[in-house]
Structure 1
Amino acid sequence: MNKDLFKHIKSDAPAGLVVFLVAVPLCLGIALASGAPLFSGIIAGMVGGIVVTSFSGSSLGVSGPAAGLAVIVLVAIEDLGSFETFLVAVVIAGALQVVLGIVRAGIIGYYFPTSVIKGMLSAIGIIIFLKQIPHAFGYDADPEGEMDFVQADGENTFSELWNMVDYISPGAIIIAFTSLLLLILWEQKFMKKIKLFQIVQGPLVVVVLGIIFGKLFAGGAYEITSEHMVNIPVSEDFNGFLGQFTLPDFSTITNPQVWVVGITIAIVASLETLLCVEATDKLDPQKRVTPTNQELRAQGIGNMVSGLIGGLPVTQVIVRSSANIQSGGKTRLSALIHGVLILLAAMAIPNIMNMIPLASLAAILLVVGYKLAKPALFKEMYKKGWLQFIPFVVTVFAIVFTDLLVGIGIGMAVAVFNILLTNLKNPYVLKSTHDATDEHYQIVLSEQVTFLNKAQILRELNKVPDGAELFIDASKTVFIEHDVLEIISDFKESAKFKNIKLKISPLDHLDLNGFNQSLGQLVVTSEEAKMHGENELKVIDSINPKL
């Protein structure tokens, strides 16, 4: 760590504290949803904050246990028979991620379109918002870290909103509502001008207020009971704290199933990390670029350490990263501080942490969720046109109603379809010119002409009237598929019966495997091709379809 790391400590320290407060219940909730010991989530939070941050090049990314891996972990622990055996798979996954970083596999992250990444951010914002509403009303049945639409208990995101009606806690509503008002007030411009409120962050005030309300409501009708509070495992002494760490059972390393789980975790965790890196960089006010290969190596080292001491697998996580950015974090010091605070809290002050109502944290996350999915973002994407808006909206809905990876896959499929559709509609430009006696047509082929363009090109060839002159210009084409060449070759034969004069630009720069000979005398010289282009007197028809 260099001295420049502490340059923005006034911003990073409060942001690290907020991320810590958000991360603790998420770590516990993900561990619960994964069927793992609760403390394994805390360990993963420590490792993500301290170890991964130490090796990472990400300025604002925060790592820890990921909700997207919860189902994989749950099934893996059951299939492998013990948590100790599962930890071996986590170590293997970490080693594989280091290898992926070394072979520079991080470039994969740059192949995801901006529309899909922004859709992912908005979807996560909506999910955070919807998932926190029950906690704000005092209904805490759903594990904090569970982010999938269909939950482990068979309920879903929307059915839980209905279920909470029967479990409303007046005390939780008061805390959540008051906390929201405070957080909104803290965002106002006139508040930011006051120096005290620049130093003291709104989320910290919300947490302290929640503890005070919890004490005031104790024993009364508005009481906030322990199941509605943060729940860090409490140790009687330091030896008890150390006893919560678990060592992997390396005697099972020859089990093929362990390697299958390790490879699965490595692939999914790497993909989630790369997606989060791309999303976090887009949220960064300074637009810094994270070195993705370094990030894969850092995540790999983190997973190896986490597996060795009894933690869940870690990834860079968008919920914590976005909370860091929204709270004013400037450098990776904020992520490091959050990790150190998790360690200190688990060691020294678990009882104080367990006084924080989940309703207070719900208010903080409601604000984070709203900022990620602001209506203004939807308007912005709509103004960019359908090519951007459709993949964006599809990604949002797909993630909200499935899970992160499935939703991203659906969004990518739509984005790729749009690319194909664009290519399909832009294989050529058809121009026609007239003089007193002749009718001249010209088709200018694009750089890439594939079988997807067959129908459109055939349609335009059929538009050329009998007795006309047609020049096909392929001078800018770098690839033309044989299916299209066959269409041109067939048109050559039919043109004879329609008295159409067909000429084609030089094709020497293309590998046509015999088609040059087939087209024969139709291929003109370079100078003739130039003349064909210059002879056009007046363009009366230009077809270049747009979406």
Structure 2
Amino acid sequence: LNSTGIELATQSDVDLDRQLRVDGLGNLIAGLCGGMVGYLGVAYSLLNYKAGANSRLAGLVASGLCLVILFWGAPILAYLPRAVMGGLLLYLGLTLLVEWVYDAWFKLSRLDYALVLLILLIVATRSFLAGVGIGIIIACLLFVVSYSHVHVIKYAATGAEQRSNVERSFLHLKELNEKGKQIYIVCLQGYVFFGTAHSILDHVRQCFGNPELPKIRFLLLDFRLVTGLDSSALFSLLRLKQLTQIGKVA
């Protein structure tokens, strides 16, 4: 998101793949050295761009100053008043609170905003790692719930409604018109997992038990738009196979 914002502001292209690789490598090295996580900053990047610092020299100078402060800056920092350091920490903390408590109210959904407040409460009362860990778990659960609402069945049709591109004779077309309703086609889409796999089974079961529909002799599942499936989806498909065997459906 930050890279896209810089692209718009500078009217230039950013190699997102390279940027992610560099950020990931830098964060790994920083973590091994006891440092903090870093990412592309829009404000400082645009400040350098407007000041004319468009080369890699700006990043090298900034990193060099950080190294100087790391190895030889302790005596200099000792002369700074404690109020300055405390004010800096207070400023950073208030900036984060304004961004994630006040500004987030107008940007995030109410559910996401409640999750942000919960993480903030856990960080304040327990620890930072506990807040981040619980936040990740809840975010994963919310993703599963929201993705399970996506319809995995794109459409369903009979053989009389959906035809192939093969040119057929008049007799064959007449045969398909008469017996095509005995063929039931279910087109699937997306990722099939435990939250959506059971809906396929329920849909086919309802079709088998619907007295208004003609008896289904052939069931065709179209997986061309499916991106993947998990083990629970395989169990649902095996159960579907058992239903077809009981109903003598091919």
TM-score by length of 2: 0.51
CA contact (8 A) 1:507 1:516 kept: no
Give the SS at the match of 2:26.
helix
Give the equivalent residue in structure 2 for 1:476: 188
Q: What SS is found at the alignment partner of 2:35?
A: strand
Q: Which runs of 5+ in 1 are unaligned?
A: 1-280, 304-312, 430-442, 446-470, 524-547
Q: Distance in 2 between matches of 1:398 and 1:298?
A: 28
Deviates more, 1:482-491 or 1:382-391: 482-491
Q: How far apart, CA to CA, are the structure 2 residues paired with 1:424 and 1:284?
A: 30
Q: Take 1:508 and 1:483, find their aligned partners in 2: how far apart are those partners? A: 16
Give the corresponding residue for 1:333.
61
- CA distance in structure 2 between the partners assigned to 1:516 and 1:409 by the alignment: 42
SS in structure 2 at match of 1:500: coil
1:518 lines up with 2:242 in the alignment = no
Aligned partner of 1:389 among 102, 106, 113:
113
Shift in alpha-carbon separation, 1:294–1:344, aligned structure 2, 3 A = same
Show the counterpart of 2:129.
Answer: 405
2:34 paired with 1:314: yes
Q: Please list the CA deviations of residues 324-349 of structure 1 after superposition, one character each: whole Å capped at 9, or x if unmatched.
A: 959x7762522321221342345xxx
Q: Note the C-alpha offset of 1:520.
A: 6.1
Shift of 1:407: 0.9
Alignment of 1:222-241 (within 5 A): none
- Which amino acid in 2 is paired with 1:294? L
Distance in 2 between the 1:283 and 1:484 partners?
39
Structure 1 residue 419: Cα displacement: 1.2
Q: Assess if the C-alpha contact under 8 Å between 1:399 and 1:407 holds in 2.
A: yes
Distance 1:362 1:286, change over 3 A: farther
2:138 aligned partner? 414
- Alpha-carbon deviations, 1:291-337, whole Å to 9, x = none? 2442256347xx5xxxxxxxxx512256xx99x959x7762522321
Letter in 1 for 2:189: T
2:29 alignment partner AA: A
1:462-511 alpha-carbon deviations (Å, 9 max, x no partner) = xxxxxxxxx9863133637675555456545643xxx3327697315488
Matched, 1:501 2:221: no
Whole-Å Cα distance in 2 between the matches of residues 317 and 490 of structure 1?
51
Q: Secondary structure at the match of 2:187?
A: coil
Structure 1 Cα separation of the partners of residues 3 and 220 of structure 2 = 49
Query: 2:180 matched to which residue of 1?
Result: none
* 3-state SS, counterpart of residue 507 of structure 1: strand
Q: Deviations over 1:10-31 (max 9, x none)?
A: xxxxxxxxxxxxxxxxxxxxxx
1:382·1:389 contact (CA, 8 Å) conserved in 2?
no
Tell me, what secondary structure is at the counterpart of 1:475? strand
Q: CA deviation at 1:282?
A: 4.9
Percent of aligned positions that are identical: 13
| Distance (Å, rounded) in 1 between the aligned partners of 2:79 and 2:99 | 35
- Which secondary structure does the structure 1 equivalent of 2:188 belong to? coil
The aligned runs of 1:195-344 (5 Å cut-off) are: 282=2, 286=6, 289-290=19-20, 291-295=22-26, 298-299=29-30, 303=32, 313-317=33-37, 331-344=59-72
User: Which digits, 9 at most, give the CA deviation of each residue in 1:216-270, with x for residues without a partner?
Assistant: xxxxxxxxxxxxxxxxxxxxxxxxxxxxxxxxxxxxxxxxxxxxxxxxxxxxxxx
After superposition, the Cα gap between the structure-2 partners of 1:370 and 1:428, relative to the gap in structure 1 and judged at 3 Å, is: same
Residues 519 and 377 of structure 1: CA distance in aligned 2, closer, same or farther (over 3 Å): farther
Whole-Å separation in 2 of the counterparts to 1:403 and 1:284 = 33
The whole-number CA distance in structure 1 between the counterparts of 2:185 and 2:66 is 62
The structure, 1 or 2, with the larger RCO (C-alpha pairs under 8 Å, 6+ apart) is 1
Q: Report deviation, 1:353.
A: 4.2
| Whole-angstrom distance in 2 between the partners of 1:375 and 1:483 | 41
Task: Report the CA distance shift for 1:316/1:365 in structure 2 as closer, same or farther (over 3 A).
Answer: same
Structure 1: how far apart are the matches of 2:4 and 2:222?
A: 49
**Matched position secondary structure for 2:79:** coil
- Against the structure 1 CA distance between its residues 325 and 364, is the aligned structure 2 distance closer, same or farther, given a 3 Å change threshold? farther
Measure, in 2, the Cα distance between the counterparts of 1:472 and 1:410: 45
| Counterpart residue type for residue 188 of structure 2 | K
Whether the 8 Å contact between 2:186 and 2:220 is mirrored in structure 1 is yes
Partner deviation per Cα, 1:408-458 (whole Å, 9 max, x = no partner): 1111122112112212333368xxxxxxxxxxxxx948xxxxxxxxxxxxx
Provide the rounded CA distance (Å) in 2 between the counterparts of 1:520 and 1:490: 10
Q: Which amino acid aligns with 1:423?
A: Y
RMSD: 4.6
SS of 1:338 mapped into structure 2: helix
From the superposition, tell whether residues 489 and 506 of structure 1 become closer, same or farther in structure 2 (CA, over 3 Å): closer
Q: Distance in 1 between matches of 2:222 and 2:4?
A: 49
**Alignment deviations for residues 52-89 of structure 1 (CA, whole Å, 9 cap, x no partner):** xxxxxxxxxxxxxxxxxxxxxxxxxxxxxxxxxxxxxx
Which secondary structure state, in structure 2, belongs to the residue aligned with residue 373 of structure 1?
Answer: helix
Letter in 1 for 2:95: K
Q: For residues 4 and 35 of structure 2, what CA distance do their matches in structure 1 show?
A: 19
Q: Residues of 2 paired with 1:355 and 1:283: CA distance?
A: 38
1: CA distance, partners of 2:123 / 2:107? 22
1:538 aligns with none
Counterpart residue identity of residue 63, structure 2: A
Distance, in Å, in 1 between the alignment partners of 2:193 and 2:70 is 59
